[in-house]
Structure 1
Amino acid sequence: MKHLIVYAHPEPESFNRAILETTIATLQQNGHEVIVRDLYSLNFQPVLKPEDTAAMRAGRTPQDIITEQEFIAQADAITFIYPIWWTGLPAILKGYVDRVYAYGFAYSVGEEGIVKMLTGKQGFIINTHGTPKEIYDQMGMTDGLKITSDIGIFDFVGIEPVGHLLFGSIGSFGDESYYKGLLKEVEDKIDSLFPR
């Protein structure tokens, strides 16, 4: 399979980076092709400007958007790896979705309603957050995050959500064995979703 990983974390030494490296290694060990789009390293422009929408309506999609859309079109599976900030996506990733998952590419509208244009692909998400997982679970935030990303982004455009890992207490819990256990969970989940 061809895997596209969209990664959004600015710190090179973050736990998200360790998750990214584990994800890449596990997928490659299972014989999959992996492409990573590190939005911060790419200095991706996240702001959807009026000129962007005007150009797309005129059939002149900006080249940076076309580049990302081509990676999506070629992928069998798409993985998002990002931290939860203010109970949502980092601005750079939200802007990526705003600009790249555009009308006419990712979805359109027909007589029956929304037309999902990215069917046949699988979607997987890995998140980290500082709040303990138990608190997010109790307040309904975990379910809310899954709905807004799995359903509100992936399913909306036809990508089948196949898994979503949310890891809490990141940065506030210093036990090395805790982080190793989370990386093992990433590895095991990828092995089950995307075996050889």
Structure 2
Amino acid sequence: MNAKKVLVISAHPDPRSLNAALADFAVGHLRAAGHEVRVSDLYAMKWKATVDADDYPDDYPEGHGDGDAGLTSRLHVMAASQEATLAGRLTPDVAAEQENVRWADAVVFQFPLWWFSAPAILKGWIDRVFTAGFAYGPAVPPPYSEGVLAGRRALVSVTAGARQTSFSDRGIHGEIGDVLYPIQHGLLWFTGIAPLAPFAVGGADKMSEEQFVAVREAYAARLDGLFTDETVPFRTLVGGDYDHDMRLLPGVEEPGVTGLGLHRRPGRVRERLT
């Protein structure tokens, strides 16, 4: 395998946690395979999670709101972030993380599944780093296709306290791919990053050492396929499957497929907990 560049995003408050152990394992395994790895440990970095006027100090100085109409009149996040991105005026922490994303051939996200979503600190990293003008907006390619971040891959690795059978087609929590759809499709695929099926570990709160060994082996296999495994076959916006209102055209889906599955090309493999 040719050496690649991988960014690992870790989001758990305890360095002794299972998530921290999996993040450390991923870094070591990828480096042992010859890849170059950068790590953003968001809690260790004390990452600022909220988007506010402090992110745009040149556009919103003290007393902002009293200026002329436009960016100085009130905080329009999309307009402000695009203006700051294109003018090179983002805060240093955001600019550094954007550079990490640009640098990477693949991004690995490691976090616990809290209330069916990512921890607030990771959501804040997404909100602040994926600015207009960098990841989306009128000046970049269309979403859900060859977006500005196209050519990159991503692996979302999560832990859940619930048993693995509860995250399935008939499980009460739903399929893990559907639970993670906002990240897999709404963040990654929207910006052109091709996500692999998520790696998800159930029963994380009561894991024995023997079980952890098995999880590491399974995770190693997924990391080994980071650049070779098939990605989730999401449809492209510009591939002829959608009309001008971004609605899926009738008759292109497999019989019986409904819901979020409509936006995957036929023949998809269901994502399940490990």
Greater mean alpha carbon deviation, residues 40-49 or residues 20-29? 20-29
Indicate which of 173, 185, 193 corresponds to 1:151.
Answer: 185
1:101 — aligned with what? 130
- Cα deviations across residues 125-170 of structure 1 (Å, max 9, x unaligned)? 1000101111122131513223122111110111011231111111
1:133 — aligned with what? 164
Indicate which of 95, 103, 113 corresponds to 1:66.
Answer: 95
Letter in 2 for 1:147: Y
Indicate which of 210, 214, 223 corresponds to 1:177.
Answer: 210
1:164 — aligned with what? 198
SS at match of 1:107: coil
Partner Cα distance (1:187, 1:94) in 2: 26
Indicate which of 152, 157, 173 corresponds to 1:121.
Answer: 152
Shift in CA distance, 103/41, structure 1 to aligned 2, threshold 3 Å: same
Greater mean alpha carbon deviation, residues 90-99 or residues 104-113? 104-113
* Higher share in helix: 1
Shift in CA distance, 104/28, structure 1 to aligned 2, threshold 3 Å: same
SS at match of 1:144: helix
Partner Cα distance (1:41, 1:13) in 2: 13
1:50 — aligned with what? 53
Greater mean alpha carbon deviation, residues 22-31 or residues 134-143? 134-143
Partner Cα distance (1:14, 1:71) in 2: 25
Indicate which of 103, 117, 121 corresponds to 1:88.
Answer: 117
Indicate which of 34, 38, 47 corresponds to 1:35.
Answer: 38
Structure 2: gaps of 5 or more residues: 60-79, 229-274
* Higher share in strand: 1
TM value normalised by structure 1: 0.91
Aligned length: 194
TM value normalised by structure 2: 0.66
Check conservation: 1:123, 1:163, Cα contact below 8 A: no
Partner Cα distance (1:64, 1:145) in 2: 29
1:78 — aligned with what? 107
SS at match of 2:225: helix
- Structure 1 stretches of 4+ moved >4 Å: 110-113
Q: RMSD of the alignment, in Å?
A: 2.0
Partner Cα distance (1:19, 1:47) in 2: 26
Give, in angstroms, the shift of residue 26 of structure 1.
1.3
Check conservation: 1:80, 1:125, Cα contact below 8 A: yes
Partner Cα distance (1:22, 1:41) in 2: 17
Structure 1: gaps of 5 or more residues: none
| Rg larger for | 2
Check conservation: 2:201, 2:215, Cα contact below 8 A: yes
Give, in angstroms, the shift of residue 113 of structure 1.
5.0
Shift in CA distance, 112/48, structure 1 to aligned 2, threshold 3 Å: closer
Give, in angstroms, the shift of residue 87 of structure 1.
0.8
SS at match of 2:43: coil
State the identity %. Answer: 31
The yes-or-no answer on 1:13 pairing with 2:19 is no
Check conservation: 2:26, 2:223, Cα contact below 8 A: yes
